[in-house]
Chains A and B, each alone.
Chain A
Amino acid sequence: MADEFNTEGMLDMYLFENEQLLEQLQEMVLEQKDADCFDEDSINEIFRTMHTIKGSSGIMMFDNITAISHKLEDVFYFLRESHPENVPHLELVEHVLEVEDFISGEMEKIKSGLGTDGDPKELIEGLDQFLNKIQGNENASEAKGLPGNVHEEPKQFYIAPVASSASRFYKINVIFFPETEMANVHAYKVVYALKEIAEDILYSPEDIIADESSAQTIIEKGFRILLQAQASEEEIRNIIGVGYDIDKVEIYECLAEEFLQGFEFGQGQTSIDLVSSVEEIEAKNAVAAEEKKEDKIAPGDFVIKPKEPGKPKKLAKDKAKSDKATFISVNVSKMDMLMDLIGELVISESVVMQNPDLKVPGLDLTNFNKAATQMAKISTDLQNVIMSMRMVPLTNTFQKMNRIVFDVSRKLGKDINFEMVGENTEVDKNIIEHISDPLMHLVRNAVDHGIETDEERLASGKKEKGKVTLSAKTEAGKVWISVTDNGKGLEREKILAKARKQGLLEDGKPDSAYTDKEVYQFITLPGFSTNEQVTEYSGRGVGMDVVVQNIQAIGGLLEIESTPGEGSTMNLKIPLTLAIVDGVVLETGTSSFVVETGLVKEFVSVREDMMIHEPSGDEFVMLRGECFPVLRLGDWYGLKDYKRSVEDGMMVVLELDGKTICMFVDKLVGKQEIVVKPIPSYIKKIKGLSGCTQLGDGSIALILDPSGFIE
């Protein structure tokens, strides 16, 4: 096992990092999808993200990912440098999302051990066209702002390490002999040599490789370099060297401010804006940089779109950044192990505390008890911490849904608002993994089937925009997630008709005998779709049954509410699972059971004369004038040696879903916080049991799920 981890560590890391990057990217893009354009920070961020992905994919030799991220990097490089106006923002958003999808898709393939065989050609062409378009918009007046090989350059500049305070700044002018041929190539050699020591470098003319005419300029005016490095003048001189081609090297040390101002002589040229890459200098010389920016706005030139000052978003972002630094990622299986061990610790602690050896009369346990209390406190804290470690907010999952609404609604041409409520609700990590798919189906359904087209909405007199609301809350130890739309709602008649066609209705039972709830449940059956046409997103009848299956697999429930003409709500009720549940421990026969405290209304001792026995065998108990059905736990599960007489045992009154039942058990043991564990999957699902747990003495108790008792 360990070997496997080691050899694939690099790949794992690659996948993990890029997944995170893509997630952040998507979040950022969606956050600004409704804006007119990306703000400068985001452009830089997207550029950097793509650059990182490109780099790491290159190392891992996933060529198609490298290619596509490279292309997108180009686009953002252009945006970053030229600040073009009139960028079709939505189109750009789509391009970014497409690229993100492509890379995610490829990474999925890598994960499942397949090769990266996706062909990014189409996407790249699309991006090329897009780039041409925005360049065309922008550069009509400006002479060849950025040459075709633009993508070579970011490589050079971005690998440059962050400047340190020991850095010195130089202006270098290399003058070649006039008869030198292909001076541009020689100049490139100089740049190449300097790159070894350069923390930052820029030069003029810029496009020395692609543009052969630059050779002429170099010879006439000299080759100018701005260099930031820790080396001394002498060292630089040595690196450049004076060969057969170089006539003279002039080196002047200069201040950071001057350095940032770039080439005074470079005005006709587009000099590369390095400000964003040398953040430290920027901080030091914010004023200088500002001046420089203003300098740059010449008439007829492009206009820099500064980030709107005082935008609260910026503050929030800064904060998020500093938070991120404090995260580490841990293998989930290690967490599980830790969790199990802490559970064991708590148990062995109680074994020590309640050790019969301590019960010897006459022992002075004052000090022991003090120490024991301290230890109990620590172990409780430990348990709480590990629990909270596993809890993750639903934010990311919800963000993904935002994306889906965006995609689907645009493709279908529907104008839809998406609202998220309670996305900070924390849920166990395992649960999050399991609800992502079902939620996606539900959201997609809401957008595709739920919300009508704009014309239909108009026709039915609906004024407000289509709206999909995703909300989450915790209640009674469960998470409730609901997807609400204000669309047309479910059509009872249509569903019934379809159900009849598929032979799902009982013979002779009139339609009116089915409750709305029952009718709506039909749509969760396999192969059931009322959408007449199969669209790209739904209508194939696969979906709702998968949703229900997935939700049930984690012990959840799906409830459907709908009002014709006003919309429908899909409610998911999902257990928090690993969260600690407050439980009441009960005993019947030789078995222990636990029932969630929240479900228990009261405990009652009843007398035989309060019981009502029906001839059919059903039993009821009269409590304060009300009659409740009785369930004998021992009977239900066919246990041995349990108490028969109601006067010997205890009635537990349980209330759920508005129904009340009395469960008869032998005795109550006590209240306890329990860690819910699933019953091993090897044992098939048992009605009325939702899991198991360990009690204080290490023995196992079964957790009752009374909803299984109520049919």
Chain B
Amino acid sequence: MDEIGKIKTESVASVKDGHDAQKGMYMTFLSGNECYGLKIQYVNEIIGFQDITPVPETENYIMGLINLRGKIIPVIDVHIRFNREPFEYNDRTCIIVVDVKSTLVGLIVEKIAEVVEIQDENILPPPSISRVDRSQNKYVYGIGKVGDSVKLLLDPERLLNDEEQLVVEQANELMVDGE
């Protein structure tokens, strides 16, 4: 038994090593005037814009389904998710395919920027001066400084899930922890 346990921890460790190379790397993209960052571990791939099949009766930010080499995945419009006006899709529009807890989802963004490295010490918690503004900040878990510019770092889990759902999930987790 012990050996198996050891093997397991080793394999976990090796996975961690793999992540270490990506640690602090962020994929940044533009949406509106802001520059957002996503931890690179979440990013599976970036594809050009393609035809989206709309699905009726869904949240307004879920634009529909795309065919990713035989896999059908949902895509959401980050712009609309942030409660902004919809934007015209053009040839700069990209879809970032993210993998959050084994769920593949495409994020439609206006423009891909670059991959940057942001050290933990350069990440600040989001300012929460006004409580009214809180709802807009709920997807941003930190602000990363790169030189003079700042990147809003997104929590993809919060981005994908409804807040209510998240609350339920957290409550469940708490209950599980409590046991």
Contact = CB atoms under 8 A, between A and B. Distances in A.
B14 interface: yes
Interface stretch (A257-265, A338-346, A411-419): A338-346
Given A7-B10, A8-B7, A694-B67, A62 B1 contact: yes
A489 B169 CA distance: 40
A700 B52 CA distance: 8
B103 A679 contact: no
A680 B65 contact: yes
A255 interface: no
Contacts of A702: 53, 55
Contact of B55 (A8, A344, A677, A686): A686
Interface in B97-128: 103-105
B86 to A, nearest CB: 14
A683 B58 contact: yes
Nearest to A4: B11
B8 A341 contact: no
B11 A3 contact: yes
B74 A683 contact: yes
A61 interface: yes
Residue among A637, A677, A680, A692 with the most chain B CB within 10 A?
Answer: A680
A248 B62 CA distance: 90
A61 B7 contact: no
B32 interface: no
B14 A699 contact: no
Contacts of A638: 56-57
A61 B70 contact: no
Nearest to B160: A682
A61 B53 CA distance: 53
A115 interface: yes
B66 interface: yes
Interface string A670-710: 00000001011111101101001010001111100000000
Contacts of A344: 69-70
Given A677-B72, A680-B65, A694-B72, A7 B53 contact: no
A493 B73 CA distance: 48
Contacts of B14: 3
A682 B103 contact: yes
Contacts of A300: none
Contacts of A116: 1
B21 interface: no
Contacts of B105: 680, 682
B125 to A, nearest CB: 28
B54 interface: yes
Contacts of B131: none
Contacts of B7: 7-8
B51 interface: yes
A687 B55 CA distance: 11
A490 B69 CA distance: 50
B3 A61 contact: yes
Contacts of B67: 694, 698-700
B15 interface: yes
Contacts of A605: none
A113 B8 contact: yes
B129 interface: no
A156 interface: no
Given A7-B10, A344-B69, A700-B66, A591 B54 contact: yes
A687 B57 CA distance: 9
A692 B74 contact: no
Nearest to A684: B58
A358 interface: no
Nearest to B73: A680
B55 A679 contact: yes
Contact of A341 (B3, B58, B70): B70
Nearest to A592: B53
B81 to A, nearest CB: 13
Nearest to B100: A682
Contacts of A701: 53
Nearest to A677: B72
A8 B8 contact: yes
A3 B65 CA distance: 32
Interface string A410-454: 000000000000000000000000000000000000000000000
A702 B52 CA distance: 12
A11 B6 CA distance: 13
Interface in A621-639: 636-639
B53 A8 contact: no
Contacts of A115: 1
A686 B69 contact: no
Interface in B62-96: 62, 64-67, 69-74
Contacts of B103: 680-682
A3 B11 CA distance: 7
Interface in A262-300: none
Contacts of A684: 58
B4 interface: yes
A680 B73 CA distance: 6
A573 B64 CA distance: 29
Contacts of B1: 61-62, 115-116
Contacts of B65: 679-680, 683, 692, 700
Interface in A651-687: 677, 679-684, 686-687
Given A681-B103, A686-B55, A694 B11 contact: no
A63 to B, nearest CB: 9
A274 B10 CA distance: 46
A4 B18 CA distance: 13
A690 to B, nearest CB: 13
Nearest to A640: B54
A638 B62 CA distance: 15
Interface in B17-76: 51, 53-58, 62, 64-67, 69-74
Contacts of B51: 699
A687 B58 CA distance: 11
A542 to B, nearest CB: 18
Contacts of B15: 3-4
B121 to A, nearest CB: 31
29 contacts: A3-B11, A7-B8, A7-B11, A8-B8, A61-B1, A61-B3, A115-B1, A116-B1, A590-B54, A591-B53, A591-B54, A639-B56, A679-B72, A680-B72, A680-B103, A680-B104, A682-B62, A682-B105, A682-B160, A683-B58, A683-B62, A683-B74, A692-B53, A698-B67, A699-B51, A699-B53, A700-B53, A700-B64, A701-B53
A-B complex: 9 closest residue pairs judged by Cβ atoms:
A340-B70, A637-B56, A700-B53, A344-B70, A7-B7, A7-B11, A680-B74, A686-B57, A343-B70
Interface of B: 1, 3-4, 7-8, 10-11, 14-15, 51, 53-58, 62, 64-67, 69-74, 103-105, 160
Given A7-B7, A340-B70, A683-B58, 19 more contacts: A62-B1, A116-B1, A344-B70, A591-B56, A592-B53, A679-B72, A680-B74, A680-B103, A682-B74, A682-B103, A682-B105, A686-B58, A689-B55, A692-B65, A694-B70, A699-B51, A700-B53, A700-B66, A701-B53
